[in-house]
Structure 1
Amino acid sequence: MNVQGTKKQTHSIVDFIINKRKHIEKFFIIMVIICAFLNTFVEINYDLTKYLPDTTPSQQGISVMRKEFGYPGTARVMIDNVTLYQAKAYKDRIEAVDGVDMVVWADTKKDVYQSGEFISSKDIDEYYKNGYSVMDITFDEGDASKKTSKAIDKIMAITGDKGHFTGSAVQSKSLSENLNIEVKKATVICVGLILVTLILTTTSWFEPILFLLIMGVAIIINMGTNIFLGEISFLTSSVGPVLQLAVAMDYSIFLIHSFTAEREKGMSLEDAIAVAIRHSAKSILACGVATFFGFIALSLMKFSIGFDMGVVLAKGIFCSVATVLFLMPSLIIRWSGLIEKTAHRSFLPPFGKFAKGVFKGRYAFVALALFVAFPAYIGKGMTDFVYGAQAVGAGVGTKAYEDDQLINKQFGRSNMMLVIVPNTSRVTEKALAKELDNLDYSKSVTSLADTLPDGLPESIIPESITSELHTKNYARILMYIKTKDESKLSFQCSDEIQSIVKKYYPKESYVVGTTPFTQDIKTTITSDYDFVDALSILSVAIVVMITFRSLLIPVLILIPIEIAIFINMLFPYLTGNRLIFMGYVIVSCIQLGATVDYAILMTNNFMESRARLGRKEATIDAIATTTPPLLTSATILTMVGYILYFTCSISAIADIGHLIGRGTVFGFTLVVTVLPALLYIFDKPIQKHMARMDRLREKKEAKQKALRQNLNSKLQFLNAHNEQSV
């Protein structure tokens, strides 16, 4: 019996990719069709309250509120040039709109039990003055509800040109209507500018089209597989695809550059692509895995919008790497003639002189980076942050923003708090409402116990009215205060209100609203940051350590990346701008994930050059070789960031875009200047470590070789024995 004859012939994954390329193409075509269809069923969520942990007071209060009363959307409407009686008529018409739960105005308390007295409120100036009238509206359903949106449309039709609208429901409606248009606009601009950038930085007119096709396939597959999440946040939906396009473009550039280099050596088509896959796969997989785990760290946030964005972005990296390594080689082979026919000279100049200049200033670059690092780290922690829904409101220049400014100018701020207490005693409820009403910053307080005259039984009031403020188990008190939704003053007021409520109702009482919700976001997300930041750094460091089999290289790689992040996050403090903290956490991970790709490629090129050159020559060669692809990638990511910044009216998305754009510039600059200098300075311990690792690998290979030879000898002995037996 011939044992060797029964041994099956093995094929590498590279052989599979090349030999089965037609099947691979069919698989991706089917996946694109399926995922494009599935993407139409992915819901977009605009309600940030869904992402708070169930253990927070706000989420517990919202849960009780939804069960007992529903969780209402809110809005304010100001009507121009009306008399007091006309304002009352508008109020009645608005209150009759389907979807409107209650309209708080000067006559609200009297309307509850239909007194013949019209308006006797001493606070009438809060709702009517100088021919302007303002009303606070609560809806039957939430801010993002379709019913609420339709109700706002009807109210706008009632008020016509006289109406001005603000509030969370209006912001949510504006967000859902405008975001899709703005993202499409930003995407078209991004694709156009990316195409121009690729044309200028590649050596074939067809290569940019191939890159965009590959990324388009990966993005569609990623978006379609979001169906398994059920819904994604508006933030993820708007920035996810363009970030995937910008961050993952590197992988296709790595592969095509390697393929072109092998073809120029005279290799055949299939041999060149096989060598290109083997040569570039290490960098692609290392970059992809490092970026993947950097994004996965986001998914462990307690404020689960991080899970939403982290999973989608990490999945996007996986889809991109798989598409580049499996589909792109097939398309390169299919269209190789077109790629070669459309070849042109490089529009980029040689980077040899640039590399020599960077090398000459190596010590100055390192010294400057280290000098800036500490103050930048301290300064970024002094930035004034925004945590809540204020950051997702419409930006300067939009009608929603202008209306908000007009209403606040005439009547000041109006911030709604919803107090939920057990329905146990009208006396206690009335005392609580009175104390809340007497607070200096209180604008109005509406409760059933405080509104009904003493001795009048609740049973004579229609249930349609009482159900707005009372259920069998709970009472609801509507309170409006004269503060912003998010500020130090509003947080102080919220704390005082909550302490007063707890004084009367120590158990099962809640204060719900934008301000207490924002306070809980702040508490949750600030505790998330240190954990997420440390985990993302650790995961990237482990991937780099495994890739280069070194403990020192991850440290050297992370130094310029982290300094770039510190400097980027320092700028809002220097310019006096408030920064959305959610964006701060997200962009820290994105900048780390994107920039580590640059650092891995630079280090990999240095190590390859160092194997055949001295450390000076290897450093210069690594800079000259790495800068062109990094310049392409960094230019694309910077453009994507700034396009989001300039085209999006939503503050949160614009801020994220600005941070990404600016952060990429700093990341690219420090990776090209500081990292090569660190590799040069620490060359001796790096080479010593690598030599030791090579010796260990050689010993391991020698052992494996000896084992194989021993096994072959035994097999030959068995074969000879079997032949003699026969």
Structure 2
Amino acid sequence: MRHKVSERIREKPYQILRTCRDKGKDDISFPTRLARFIIHRKKLIESIFFISCAVSMFAMLFVNVNYDLTEYLPKDAQTNIGLDVMREEFGYPGTARVMIKDVSLYEAKQYKDKLEAVDGVDQILWCDSTANIYSGEDFINEDDIDDYYKDRCAVMDITFDEEDDSPRTSGAIDEMRAITGDRGYFVGMAVQNKSLAETVESESNRILVIAVIMIFLILCISTTSWTEPVLFMLVMGVAVMLNRGTNIFVGTLSFLTNNVAVVLQLATSMDYSIFLLDAFTKERDKGKTDEEAMIAAIEEAIRSIFASSMTTVVGFLALVTMTFSVGFDMGLVLAKGILVSLITVIFFMPAVLLKFSKWNDKTKHRSFLPDFKNFSKWIYRMRYVILIITLLVTPGAYVAQGMTDFRYGNNAIGAAEGTQIYQDDQKIIEIFGRSNMMLAIYPNTSPVAEKAMSDEIEDLSYVKSVTSLPDTLPDGVPEEFLPYSMTSELHTEKASRMLIYIKTKAESPRAFECTDEIRNILKRYYPEASYLVGETPSTQDIKEAIVSDNARVNALSLAGVFLVVMFSFRSIVTPILILVPIEMAIFYNMAMPYIRGDTLIYMGYIIVSSIQLGATVDYSILLTNNYMGARKRLPNKEACIEAVSLSCTSILTSGSIITFAGYIIYMISSTAAIGDLGHLIGRGGLFSVILVLTVLPSLLVLFDRFIVGDGWKRTANYLKNRYVDQRSIWKARWNGNKEKRFRKRKLGKTEGTL
């Protein structure tokens, strides 16, 4: 008897399903079967998630972060090919520039010797290679050394043994700063990468902590229980942990992705937890037990959560198609984060929610938000005014968004205004002017051609200095007479290298013109296998790659979201109405930098367009769903008012989270690219909330006949009837004209025929 009872207890989880099968009811839907499986296996699922979190915490330590945007250039970009050649032939050492203030020539020489002895420093170029600084300042022609020593300040060009982002190079910079103390001013790619890494790492933790606190406070205001925000943060915390751990399969992330992915995942996927909790609460209010209510809630919520998440995933995946592959890892990580959040909410949250349900009941409080009825009525009354205003403003915003001044390269990110590197750079420019280094790589075939090319480049008015082996060799001395250690920096068996310093910014129209002219000279002397590398050429290639990505990424994200929404609503007109306010919000968001006169990093511009579309289209979907549900029992006016009233709390909660998250990133981060990205995300979320709650209700009422009922059939019937009516009109006109022509011919009049 005891054995039979235990067998029945063991069979209980599948009792309902087996009973249905025994009765021949094999039509149980997949959501129902999934919901029952989740509830009856909740302990196993909890264990799997907790073990996965522990593994993810360990795996996170092995995810690398990259701070050099040139590594994301397409493989066929000329700069990328040139860098590969240089790595193979010469290596790719890091570079920096240091100015030491308030020193004599002799003191500067002592500093140089100390800096050159630092582990990780290969060589330092200064005026002591061309002038005898021990002869005394009175015997040295100042014009010969003013590029390196002026006004008791000495500036030196440093080459490291290893690459810019090497730990050894970073350690060398720290040691050199200790040697120079307050007298030293450091700039260059190696310094920039080190500063960027340290800044991003310290700021990312602050951003995350403040964002979590702000999101928690928003949830406290928008929910009706003090423990519900704790539940949401726990579930989303697990999802974030799993997403960060699975980044180990991506390998290396860009610093942009690593810095904003967590906050964006929290901001864009919090809705899924809210959907499930709302559905669970409604089912419990019907008198069901907790487990029955949870099964019904999963059945109800899974479709809306799945549809909502798919639009976001599609919007993010459009970034994967970027040829400038920083979009690949950002799109992949964000899309993966949404899928991980979806899985966590569907499988893990039910188990946690059942445990929290009693605490949620005990800690209930009144709602802090109004019912929004008056606001909904005002929106309906003002619908035509709202549409007229947006029709007048939107064309201007669309034009303005493409007129913003953009920046593209590493310098715009790591040495932006407000950073220590920017301040140091301004000090050096004030005394010595600008010095923008480039490297020409070309075949080692003709010393005569190399000398002629070097002389021609050096004669250009904007060129500060040129270093090549023909210029370095004393007249009449063959290269073979010099030791390999001296020549290997500029010549190998197959390739030659030339260092060129020009008097321009790293990124400006003038710098691009100068680079093009030098590249043309290089191609004239060495048509094949010649490359110009450096910050300015890299920025040009980044610009070319990322600008070409813009139209494609926007079109793909828009088309993908449109298709998902179209098949969800089974209508062609509905997705158009849903996307209109979001696209308008994107136009307004991207037009603001032009209106304010700001310079924007183009990478943020292209990335945020997809992020804003994917993350905020859910607001439109929710409002449209509520309208269509209300429309089944109410006329369009009452349906509009009810839909806005029902949607306001959810939209304002989600919109506030993404808005505050973006602005927290913007206010805390001193890195221009990350700050711009946060600003665009925050402002974009705000515009989306405003336009969805104002413009979309007006559009739903205006196009009510196309979206209520079966969207496919309504649209098809309308087009068919329109075609039939138009055809009848043209047929009647044709018959009338035919009769007129007959009468005229009969009367012998041929003029006036059609």
TM-score (norm. length: structure 2)? 0.88
Cα shift at 1:230: 1.3
1:253 to 270, 274, 289: 274
Matched residue of 2:437: which SS?
strand
Counterpart contact for 2:131–2:145, Cα < 8 Å: no
Distance 1:567 1:46 in 2: 30
What's the CA shift string for 1:51-88, capped at 9, x where partnerless?
Answer: 11111100010110111111222211110100122222
Name the CA shift for 1:691/1:415 in 2 (closer, same or farther; >3 Å).
closer
Shift of 1:335: 1.6
- The answer to whether 1:27 aligns with 2:48 is yes
Q: Structure 1 residues 340 and 4, CA, compared in 2 at 3 Å: closer, same or farther?
A: closer
Which of residues 458, 472, 496 is equivalent to 1:451? 472
Counterparts of 1:131 and 1:315 in 2: how far apart (Å)? Answer: 56
CA distance in 2, matches of 1:6, 1:283: 31
The answer on 1:605 being equivalent to 2:651 is: no
352, 355, 378: which one aligns with 1:357? 378
Report the counterpart of residue 526 of structure 2 in structure 1. Answer: 505
**1:579 partner SS:** strand
For each residue in 1:419-477, what CA deviation from the matched residue of structure 2 results, as whole angstroms up to 9, or x when unmatched?
A: 11111122211111111111111111111111111211223322222111111111111
Q: Distance in 2 between matches of 1:691 and 1:99?
A: 69
Instruction: Show the counterpart of 1:709.
Output: none
Matching residue of 1:235: 256
Provide the secondary structure at the position in 2 that maps to 1:324: helix
Deviation track 1:326-354 (CA, whole Å, cap 9, x = no partner) reads 11111111221011111111111111111
| TM superposition shift of 1:219 | 0.7
| Distance of 1:486 and 1:691 partners within structure 2 | 52
Tell me which amino acid in the other structure corresponds to 1:37: F
**Does residue 324 of the first structure (1) align with residue 345 of the second (2)?**
yes
Change over 3 Å in CA distance of 1:242–1:673 after alignment to 2: same
Equivalent position SS for 2:455:
helix
Task: Give the superposition deviation at 1:279.
Answer: 2.2
SS in 1 for 2:438: strand
**d(CA) in 2 for partners of 1:611 and 1:267?**
26
* 1:437-448 aligned within 5 A: 437-448=458-469
1:666, distance to aligned residue in structure 2 (A)? 0.4
Q: Please list every run of 5 or more consecutive structure 2 residues that lacks an aligned counterpart in the other structure.
A: 1-19, 133-138, 718-754
User: How far 1:169 moved relative to its partner?
Assistant: 1.0
Q: Which residue of 1 aligns with 2:635?
A: 614
Q: Report deviation, 1:500.
A: 0.8
Distance in 2 between the 1:283 and 1:187 partners?
A: 28
1:4 shift after superposition: 8.1
More displaced 10-residue stretch of structure 1: 584-593 or 146-155: 146-155
Q: How does 1:228-377 map to 2 (within 5 A)?
A: 228-377=249-398
Greater Cα shift, 336-345 or 682-691: 682-691
Taking a change above 3 Å as real, the CA distance of residues 108 and 478 of structure 1, as seen in their structure-2 partners, is: farther
Paired with 1:652 and 1:205, the residues of 2 have a C-alpha distance of: 37
Q: Which amino acid aligns with 2:90?
A: F
Alpha-carbon contact 1:448-1:469 (below 8 Å) kept:
yes
Q: Secondary structure of the residue that 1:471 maps to in structure 2?
A: coil
Shift of 1:367: 1.8
Residues 390, 486 of structure 1: 8 Å contact kept: yes
Offset at residue 401 of structure 1 (A): 2.5
Shift of 1:527: 0.5
What TM-score do you get using the length of structure 1 for normalisation? Answer: 0.92
- Name the amino acid aligned to 1:401: Y
Q: Secondary structure at the match of 2:123?
A: strand
Structure 1 residue 584 displacement after superposition: 0.6
Q: Following TM superposition, by how much is the alpha carbon of 1:6 offset from its aligned partner in structure 2, in angstroms?
A: 10
Q: For the Cα contact (< 8 Å) 1:109–1:451, is it kept in 2? A: no
Distance across 1 between alignment mates of 2:224 and 2:144: 73
Closer, same or farther: CA 451–667 of 1 in aligned 2, 3 Å: same
In the alignment, which residue of structure 2 is the partner of 1:690? 711
Change (3 A) 1:438 1:152: same
How far off is 1:208 after superposition?
0.5
Superposed CA RMSD: 2.0
Aligned partner (choices 420, 444, 454) of residue 423 of structure 1: 444
**Which residue of 99, 106, 112 maps to 1:91?**
112
The answer to whether the Cα contact below 8 Å between 1:433 and 1:445 also exists between their aligned partners in 2 is: yes
Aligned residue pairs total 688
Aligned to 1:713: none
Is 1:494 matched up with 2:515?
A: yes
Matched, 1:215 2:226: no
Distance 2:612 2:21 in 1: 53
Matches within 5 A, 1:51-200: 51-108=72-129, 122-200=143-221
Q: What does residue 554 of structure 1 align with?
A: 575
1:646-665 mapped onto 2 (5 Å cutoff): 646-665=667-686
Counterpart check, 1:42 vs 2:63: yes
Q: What's the counterpart of residue 13 of structure 2?
A: none
Residues 4 and 239 from structure 1, CA distance in 2 versus in 1: closer, same or farther, beyond 3 angstroms? closer
SS in 2 for 1:107: helix
Q: Which residue of 2 aligns with 1:724?
A: none
Cα 1:168–1:280 change in 2 (3 A) is same
SS in 2 for 1:335: helix
Q: What's the % identity of the aligned pairs? A: 54
Aligned to 1:434: 455
Indicate the residue corresponding to 1:720 in structure 2: none
**Equivalent pair of 2:706/2:714 in contact (CA under 8 Å):** no
Contact 1:422 1:474 in 2 (8 A): yes
